[in-house]
Amino acid sequence: MGPLMVMTCAGFSGYAVLLTVAPLWAVEGGATTAGSGLVNGMLLLFTVLTQLLVPRALRTFGWGSVLAVGLALLGVPGVLMSLDDGLGVVLALSAVRGVGFGVLTVTGSAAVAALVGARRRGEAIGAYGLAVAAPNLVLLPAGPWLAESVGYWVAFTVSALPLVGIPAALRLASALRFSAPDLHPGATAGADPRDPQSAAYRHLLPPMLLLLAVTLAGGALITFTPQMVESTPVAVIGLLLMGLSAALSRWRIGALADRHGAHRFLVPLVVLTGAGMALVAWSVASSDDVRVVSFLLAMLLVGLCYGGLQNLTLVISFAAVSRRHHNLASAVWNVGFDAGTALGSVAVGVIAGLTSFSTALLAAGAVAVATLPLAVRRSGVREASSSR
């Protein structure tokens, strides 16, 4: 777990610092607002496309090669981006970064399942989630300030931190060779007719849809809070509360899931997600002013659900399939996360443009509540079967 945490912090630091800086860099080169908006869209597109291919890459090339190449693809483009601020160059390098990020996200969560037994997996996923959240908490808001106050070169230097994580990744790969012998490069997914990959996909769909719904809501708030709230301090405090509560929830709920079971927390968190989004919608409904207290409370509430459901859906995904399909579970979970975030930005933006932010947020909350039947449903596959 030590090398995994180091690799994760280094990788997500390089990812987070350019998430806000790369679009600004494109604007420096003359890109329009629409053009700058394509930057992270390109990153996310190639992230999702790559996530679908990572399980096969791990079987073919092994953990060490895949991890090292993924971190290099995430860390090198930021340095190269400093040489040219043209939109075409920024988009191309963002696509390469998306490939590296897709590798990092799938391998990180899959490694947790391979390293830690089912009885403490929720706690381990919580620790991994904290390693993911910490760089985002610090570097997402700090990136633009560093770029504009100190210089873009500082942000581009920080974006190379994934390269620092390569030695830790190789140590992690060495540990995985012993702790996950059934995930070696020669293993063939779906070879056991009693445990087909198609069945694994069916078991993974419900937790993925639960995750997609809550990340749609969270992605909408992350993207549009600065536009919905005219007061910059209120917007910053709201996003900080959401980020902190999400990080703490994702970290601590894992131990509760280990002790009491993950499923019992799903329904309350899904309901609270809908309630939180409705409260945000009510708080920003007035065109004159934002209801500050209710807005901040709502951001705190959505953050708790956003972080908690990330942990719980990953725990349930690993429990729903056999050990041979844990890499697939990680890939499907990460696709749900990033697809939900993208939909939160695109769909809520379109609805808000046609109606209002309040209506769009209510729609996002309704999508979350619509997943309640999935929260009630339990997978038929138990972790006891995962020794196959």
Interval 189-202: pLDDT, tens: 445 566 667 777 78
Structural domain contains residue 283? yes
Indicate the angle between helix axes 166-179 and 63-81, nearest 10 degrees.
Answer: 160
Structural domain contains residue 191? no
Structural domain contains residue 286? yes
Say which residues have a Cβ less than 8 Å from residue 1's Cβ, sequence separation at least 6.
112, 115, 116, 124, 127, 128
Interval 273-329: pLDDT, tens: 999 999 999 998 876 677 889 999 999 999 999 999 998 998 888 888 777 788 788
Say which residues have a Cβ less than 8 Å from residue 156's Cβ, sequence separation at least 6.
18, 21, 78, 79, 81, 82
Specify the residue for token string 């959401």. Answer: 242
Structural domain contains residue 193? no
Same domain, 179 and 220: no
Structural domain contains residue 239? yes
End-to-end CA distance of the chain: 24
Same domain, 338 and 373: yes
Pair of tokens at residue 171: 């140590």
What is residue 380's three-state secondary structure?
coil
Q: pLDDT value at position 187?
A: 43
Q: How many domains is the chain built from?
A: 2
Tell me, what CATH number does 360's domain have? 1.20.1250.20
What is residue 271's three-state secondary structure?
helix
Q: pLDDT value at position 91?
A: 93
Same domain, 144 and 223: no
Which residue stretches of the chain are H helix?
Answer: 2-28, 33-51, 54-61, 63-81, 87-115, 121-145, 152-158, 161-164, 166-179, 197-228, 232-260, 266-283, 292-320, 326-354, 357-369, 372-376
Buried b (16+ CB within 10 A) or exposed e, 72-87: bbbbbbbeebbeebeb
Structural domain contains residue 129? yes
Distance (Å) of CA 286 to CA 31, 167, 237, 290: 33, 52, 19, 6
Same domain, 206 and 344: yes
Q: pLDDT value at position 231?
A: 81
Q: pLDDT value at position 287?
A: 61
Same domain, 169 and 257: no
Q: Which domain holds residue 253?
A: 198-380
| Final residue in a domain of this structure, among 124, 157, 184 | 184
User: What pTM was computed for the model?
Assistant: 0.77
333 in Cβ contact with 208 (< 8 Å): yes
Same domain, 266 and 350: yes
Structural domain contains residue 190? no
Same domain, 87 and 205: no
Separation between Cα atoms, residue 40 and residue 342, nearest integer Å: 9
**Summary mean pLDDT of the chain:** 84
Q: pLDDT value at position 127?
A: 84
70 in Cβ contact with 107 (< 8 Å): yes
Same domain, 231 and 290: yes
| Final residue in a domain of this structure, among 130, 155, 184 | 184
Q: pLDDT value at position 74?
A: 96
Cα torsion angle, 298, 299, 301, 306, sign: positive
Pair of tokens at residue 160: 């190379």
35 in Cβ contact with 23 (< 8 Å): no
Structural domain contains residue 385? no
Same domain, 160 and 220: no
- For every residue of 127-155, DSSP letters joined together read HHHHHHHHHHHHHHHHHHHIIIII-HHHH
Buried b (16+ CB within 10 A) or exposed e, 9-23: bbbbbbbbbbbbbbb
306 in Cβ contact with 244 (< 8 Å): no
Same domain, 65 and 213: no
Segments in the chain below pLDDT 70:
33-34, 37, 178-196, 287-288, 378-388
Separation between Cα atoms, residue 374 and residue 55, nearest integer Å: 26
Same domain, 207 and 97: no
Same domain, 152 and 18: yes
| Final residue in a domain of this structure, among 184, 207, 237 | 184
